[in-house]
Amino acid sequence: MPRDLADVLHYLLPEAEPKAARTPPVHAGPTPARRPAALPLVGVPIGESDVVRSALTWNLAVEIARLGARALVLAPKSGGDEALLPVSGVGPVGVEVVHSDARGLGELHRHAIDVAVDRAAEAPEGGVVFVRIPPPWLAGLAESSSLLRWCLLFTSGDARELLETYGIAKLILGANECARVGITVHGARRLADAEQAFARLTRSTERHLGRELASYGLLVDDLDVYRAIVARRPIGLAHPQSPAARALRDVARLVLDDAREMAVV
């Protein structure tokens, strides 16, 4: 799957035996699908009042489920997540929301692992567990830097947001030298604006940290995003032909492709 934002918009036979020694063949049936031991975790730092990023994460999970994989969103109860996300349980197209009692990054990581291992048994096609991380908890990176092995950051092209996103990426990459940090640009009205925003981030990260960021595409600024937030309905089901739904589907494919490569079998 291409990682350029422009592309995102357009996804022995055995040796013969003597006849007398032959035995009837055993029909074992089709080889069962290999299930991963645990679904990959994707850490998503989202503030407690960030309705848009929470909605985008949930809608991304819906699109992954529509592609035939398992998708969950796990979030701590603290910080108002009950209002940001649907109620706990299984929702549209099998997407599950799990609210955690965790009070810190270490507890959140342990709960996420339990969920990832438990749900893997039901996910022959693989899947993803998105873990909502309250940004203040990143101060406790030493507790569980392995939760940050793979993170997805949403950012707009606003200069202040880009600076905040760079700061979070710096924390994550400094705490886990093997971390993969992906960026999805949202709220851009033009492709050129999104490309410029991602380029500014990557230049700063490479120059100051010596690390690269992965592109997870563009989510357009579309009225249907906000309509879906108000209606609390997935964009891909409410407005499947909208630019926002198509863009989310492209991002979902990128995330799912990487998830299948990273899954522990």
Give the domain CATH number at 125. 3.40.50.300
Q: Establish if 83 belongs to a structural domain.
A: yes
Q: Which has more confidence, 103 or 250?
A: 250
Domains contained in the chain, number: 1
Q: Which domain holds residue 169?
A: 5-9+36-262
Q: Which residue has the higher pLDDT, 139 or 20?
A: 139
30 inside domain? no
72, 127 contact by CB (below 8 A): yes
Tell the burial category of 227 from Cβ atoms under 10 Å away from its Cβ (0-12, 13-18, 19+).
middle
15 domain-assigned: no
How many Å apart are CA 264 and CA 261, to the nearest integer? 9
Q: Is residue 203 part of a domain?
A: yes
pTM, two decimal places: 0.81
| Region 6-33 average pLDDT | 39
Other beta carbons within 10 angstroms of residue 122's beta carbon come to 11
Q: What is the mean pLDDT of the chain?
A: 80
Classify residue 25: in a domain, yes or no.
Answer: no
**Mean pLDDT, residues 38-50:** 90
As a whole-number percent, the residues of the chain with pLDDT over 70 amount to: 78
- 129 in a domain, yes or no? yes
In a domain, 176, yes or no: yes
Instruction: State the DSSP H helix or E strand holding residue 99, giving kind and residue range, or none if neither.
Output: strand 96-100
238 in a domain, yes or no?
yes
